[in-house]
Chains A and B, each alone.
Chain A
Amino acid sequence: MSTQSEVSHSIGATIPAEVSRRLKRRYAAERRFQAYGIGAIMIGLMFLLIMFVSIIQAGLPAFQETRIRLDVELPADKFPDDPAEQTAEGMRLVGWTGLIQQAIRDQLQPETRADALAMHKLLSPNAEVGLRDIVVADPSLIGKSVSVWLLSAGDVDAIVKGTMSRDVPETQRTISDRQLTFIDTLEEQDRLRSQFAFTLFSAGASSYPESAGIGVALVGSLYMMLVVLCLALPIGVAAAVYLEEFAPKNRWTDVIEVNINNLAAVPSIVFGLLGLAVFINFVELPRSAPLVGGLVLTLMTLPTVIIATRAALKAVPPSIREAALGIGASKMQSIFHHVLPLAAPGILTSIIIGLAQALGETAPLLMIGMVATVFTYPETPMDPATALPVQIFMWSGLPERGFVARTSAGIMVLLTFLIFMNAVAVYLRKKFERRW
């Protein structure tokens, strides 16, 4: 605007009307273009906001869990006398379910058998595991009565959090009116509380939403990321350095370059099929192993790493190589002492972005058995495990209400990791970035 008026002012009335009209049109076009750009960004931001709001809204309840405090009797005659047998295995036939069911009946005093059954359903079928862990950790409790906070059933949890309304007719709820009165009684007796759901982070797979967690998936993803890091970094950097610094420019290197660029755009499921054919059917590695997952994800991230590393190497000015060579360094010395260190920030960034891409990937893992229900933590990368995005995918298909929240909570955890990794990449780039 101001430029326009300045121009017309300095030249005065000598500007023909035609020219000034054209000028005006050009400025208007520029303003329109800027408006389009802002509009595009706003649309993107709006969708991002909608996504975050809906995920956080659905996922937040999963970070809380409802527990019921019960006084559980541990009659000594039900337990093995030999202290050596007072382990998880030795006490597996104690009948833990019966103990906690007795405890809730003692608490609420059922009038009929139907009432008793309804009471049992207030507790998570996995509540007994919490009790067992306490007794295994401290066998001196045997023969006494302990007061424990036991995990409530997922439906009770949904009612307490309000994710399932208690005002709708009984037939539209999975909790009966009778059970609602029990919940209210427990609440009055101060035996109901919401607490932070450590279970979400520590537990493995479970059929019951309240006791399902991303623990095994986190460890599985961690193993896979380690494998990817250990393989993609050396292979990718070596390939990029050779192609960029040593390889002659001929038809063969052109073919290789085209192929690498092409591979970067291949749908990730293809790498899963490759992994199934090579690593599982041919090499006979076990299914569901993070090692195989890591190998497949390495193949998937390699093109990205190679391309980004080559770009980082290219960005180092030739004058540095020439200076090194000029004072007598060998080609290898010039690369390892000067070019690579200068390109390191770019390489690190590319590796982190590659890892982030691999962390969020599900499709190739479908083919190699990572979409599995795994209850126990993998001790090595050869043991069966699952991955974070795969766990989210599996939860998303389950019918119980609690898994809807669990799914969104899983997405929140995954997003947190991705945002963290990408932020580190941006930070490294900003900190070490150099312009020549």
Chain B
Amino acid sequence: MPSVSNKVHDVIPSGGNFRTQLKVRMDLIMKALHKTLAIAAVGAFSFAVNAQARDYVSIMGSSTVKPFADLVAEEYQKVYTGKFAAPVVEGGGSSAGLKEFCKGEGAGTIDVANASRQIKSSEITACAEAGVSKVIEIKIGYDGIVFANPVSKPAFAFEPKHVYLALAEMVPVDGKLVNNPYTHWDQIDSSFPNQEITMYIPGEKHGTREVFEEKVLGVGCEDTGGYDLQLKANGDDKKAAGKACFKVRKDGRSVDIDGEYSETLARVESNPDGFGVFGLSFAENNPDKVKVATVNGITPSLETIAKGEYPVSRPLFFYVKGAHVDVIPGLREYVEFFLSDDMVGDFGKAIDKGLIPMPADELEQVRSNFKNGVTVGS
């Protein structure tokens, strides 16, 4: 074969050197090809073994809880060096995490689902149908949601009704529901400056949106009498009236942000008249860029949220597969480590990161629930 090819090479004019170079290269490529096929075959066999056992804790879910889970996993990894492998924490959102969680049991599925809301009954059913019967709920603390605008702008003192009037699609004016007519804050309350209304709120897929709707729009809707008017308009259908209260205006003054808080920050920076809805820790990390507004006269802080004075807050959770505890190495230790005082106690590291601690007796209850394997729905 080589002799034939050499002859042909001679027939083709010019560049013989170049061609032999290529020939050598081609041979190398063919050799590499053989090798890679062999490696691929080995890889295909090894996964079968790998799927049997997993030696690390697999976590997925809420992007609000993720920074705390990341932090705990990092500290856990430092403490358990050489004993247990470091956990792997994925984001994706509460719903995506719980969906993955409820796919079934076994090393191929995740052990822990982070959630910025409580598990829904439909999700518990889905879990049970897939054979995930023992779901343990772990509350880790609270998260505060704040309104913030650039430091260069005047400070605001909000009440839920102000935000509702500024953002809702339909607002009550003189006892009637009308399309939102407000364009400037001073039209809503004369104590506010004459500043254009724009607010960057979390998008529909955020767990934060739910809290924003319930604790701000919903409360504002009732305070202003909008809820009663909605009831009338919807024929006393409470569910429909509630939903109508949550509807935000679509004329560009209420902007849904589907990304992270950093995107909200960028929007507020480019439009200083705008307000952003942030997690408390995000705002506290950027004190030179934004300042937070009070709600009902309460400044959001660790203390006011932990005491329940600041109204816009919510509990954060993660869910553990009971059947995986003591099977996946390090899972029990991870949960216990998460609930230790060093992490979520009053002066824990997660608290330093912006998690709001729960009262000591509540924390004690969560710990004993986990110890006794108390499952959701039992």
Spell out A's residues near B (CB within 8 Å). 87-89, 92-93, 125-126, 128-129, 164-165, 168, 171-174, 205-207, 229-231, 233-234, 283-288, 291, 320, 323-324, 327-329, 333, 336-338, 340-342, 344-345, 366, 369, 371-376, 380-382, 384, 394, 396-401, 432, 434
Task: Please determine whether A382 and B79 come into contact, CB atoms closer than 8 angstroms.
Answer: no
- Chain A's closest residue to B26 (CB) is A341
In angstroms, Cα B281 to Cα A398, docked, is: 10
Report chain B residues within 8 Å CB of A230.
Answer: 36-37, 39-40
Which residues of chain B are near A284, meaning CB under 8 Å?
51, 108
Within the complex, which residue of A324, A344, A381, A394 is in contact with B25, where a contact is CB–CB below 8 Å? A344
* In-complex Cβ contact of B26 among A87, A89, A125, A344 (8 A): A344
- The reply to whether A287 and B70 form a contact with Cβ atoms under 8 Å apart is no
Whether A341 and B23, one on each chain, are in contact in the complex, defined by CB atoms closer than 8 angstroms, is yes
Q: Does B156 contact A (CB under 8 A)?
A: no
A sample of 19 cross-chain residue pairs with beta-carbon separation below 8 angstroms, ordered by A number, consists of: A92-B78, A92-B83, A205-B74, A207-B70, A229-B36, A231-B36, A286-B47, A286-B108, A287-B90, A291-B47, A328-B4, A337-B23, A341-B19, A341-B26, A342-B22, A344-B26, A345-B22, A394-B91, A399-B354
Q: How far is the CA of A119 from the CA of B199 in the complex (A)?
A: 39
B259 within 8 A of A: yes
Query: With A286-B51, A342-B22 known to touch, is A371 a contact of B91 (CB < 8 Å)?
Result: yes
User: Is B5 in contact with chain A by the CB < 8 A criterion?
Assistant: yes
Contact B11 A125 (CB under 8 A): no
Closest to A205 in B: B70
Contact pick for A207, options B25, B26, B58, B71, CB 8 Å: B71
Judge whether A384 and B56 touch: CB under 8 Å: yes
Of the candidates A173, A340, A397, the one whose C-beta lies within 8 Å of that of B262 is: A397
Given contacts A375-B86, A382-B50, contact A399 B285 (CB under 8 A): yes
Within 8 Å of chain A (Cβ to Cβ): is B349?
A: yes
Docked pose: A10 CA to B65 CA in angstroms: 83
Given the complex, which residues of A lie within 8 Å of B349, measured CB to CB? 125
Q: Which residues from chain A contact B92 at a C-beta distance below 8 Å?
A: 366, 371
Cβ contacts under 8 Å, B123 to chain A: none
Q: Are B285 and A323 in contact (CB under 8 A)?
A: no
Q: How far is the CA of A341 from the CA of B27 in the complex (A)?
A: 9
CB of B43 within 8 A of CB of A291, answer: yes
Residues from chain A with a CB closer than 8 A to the CB of B293 are: none
- With an 8 Å Cβ cutoff, the count of chain B residues facing the other chain is 70
- Considering the chains assembled together, what is the distance between the CA atoms of A118 and B89 in angstroms? 30
Neighbour of A376 across the interface among B1, B37, B46, B85, CB < 8 A: B85
Measured in the bound complex, the distance between the Cα atoms of B207 and A175 in whole Å is 31
Instruction: Point out the residue from A168, A285, A366, A373 that lies within 8 Å of B66, measured CB to CB.
Output: A373
- A interface footprint on B108-135 (CB within 8 Å = 1, 0 otherwise): 1010000000000000000000000000
Within 8 A of A (CB), among B67-121: 67, 69-71, 73-74, 77-83, 85-92, 108, 110
Please measure, in the bound complex, the distance between the C-alpha atom of A371 and the C-alpha atom of B36, giving whole angstroms: 27
Is residue B190 contacting chain A, with contact meaning CB distance below 8 A?
Answer: no
* Chain B residue contacts of A229, Cβ below 8 A: 36
Q: Judging by beta carbons under 8 Å apart, are A382 and B11 in contact?
A: no
User: For the complex, is B7 an interface residue (Cβ under 8 Å from A)?
Assistant: yes
* Contacting pair B82 A88 (CB below 8 A): yes
CB < 8 Å: which of A173, A374, A375 contacts B288? A173
A89-B81, A341-B22, A397-B63 are contacts. A372–B88 as well, Cβ < 8 Å? yes
**Which residues on the B side are within 8 Å of A93 (C-beta)?**
79
What sequence of 0s and 1s flags, for each residue 23-66 of chain B, a beta carbon within 8 Å of any chain A beta carbon?
10110010001001101100100110011001010101001001
Q: CA of A73 to CA of B236 in the docked complex: distance in angstroms?
A: 73
Q: Contact check, B4 vs A329: say whether CB atoms are below 8 A apart.
A: yes
Work out how many contacts link A and B, with CB atoms closer than 8 A. Answer: 163
A399 and B12: CB pair below 8 A? no
Judged by DSSP, the binding face of A is: loop
**In contact, B22 and A374 (Cβ under 8 angstroms):** no
Pick from A329, A336, A398 the residue with the most CB of B within 10 Å. Answer: A398
- How many angstroms from the CA of A336 to the CA of B19 in the assembled complex? 13
Q: A88-B82, A284-B51, A376-B85 are in contact. Are A333 and B5 (CB under 8 A)?
A: yes
Chain A nearest CB from B108 CB (Å) reads 5
Given contacts A125-B349, A333-B1, A382-B46, contact A288 B90 (CB under 8 A): yes
Smallest Cβ distance from B150 to chain A, in angstroms? 11
- Give 8 A-B pairs besides A371-B91, A373-B90 with Cβ atoms closer than 8 angstroms: A230-B40, A285-B47, A324-B8, A327-B8, A329-B8, A369-B90, A372-B90, A399-B282
B260 at the interface (CB under 8 A from A): yes
- Interface residue? B353 (CB, 8 A): yes
Contacts A230-B39, A396-B262: A174 and B83 contacting too (C-beta < 8 A)? no
Whole-angstrom distance between the alpha carbons of A229 and B63 in the complex?
33
- Residues of A within 8 Å of B110, CB to CB, are 287
Kindly state the separation between the CA atoms of A382 and B90 in the bound complex, as whole angstroms: 17
Out of A207, A285, A323, A371, name the residue touching B67 (CB < 8 Å).
Answer: A207
A401 touches B56 (CB 8 A): no
Nearest chain B CB to A399 CB, angstrom units: 4
Whether B372 sits at the interface, judged by CB under 8 Å, is no
Residue from B39, B287, B349 whose CB has the most chain A CB atoms within 10 Å:
B287
Q: Which residue of A lies closest to B354 (CB)?
A: A399
CB of B235 closer than 8 Å to a CB of A = no
- CA–CA, A333 and B73, complex, Å: 58
Q: Chain B: which residue is nearest A129 at the CB level?
A: B78
Task: Please indicate the chain B residues that have their CB under 8 angstroms from the CB of A234 in the complex.
Answer: 33, 36-37
Contact of B7 among A287, A327, A373, A398 (CB under 8 A): A327
Q: Which residues of B contact A345 (CB under 8 A)?
A: 22
Residue of A168, A171, A172, A231 with most partner-chain B CB within 10 A: A172
A374 to B85, CA, bound (A): 11
CB-CB under 8 A from A87, the residues of chain B are 82
Closest 9 CB pairs of A and B: A89-B82, A397-B260, A230-B36, A375-B86, A399-B285, A373-B89, A341-B22, A207-B71, A399-B282
List the A residue with the shortest CB-CB distance to B91: A371
* CB nearest neighbor in B for A281: B103
Q: Smallest Cβ distance from B162 to chain A, in angstroms?
A: 24
Given contacts A205-B70, A286-B54, A432-B22, contact A382 B47 (CB under 8 A): yes
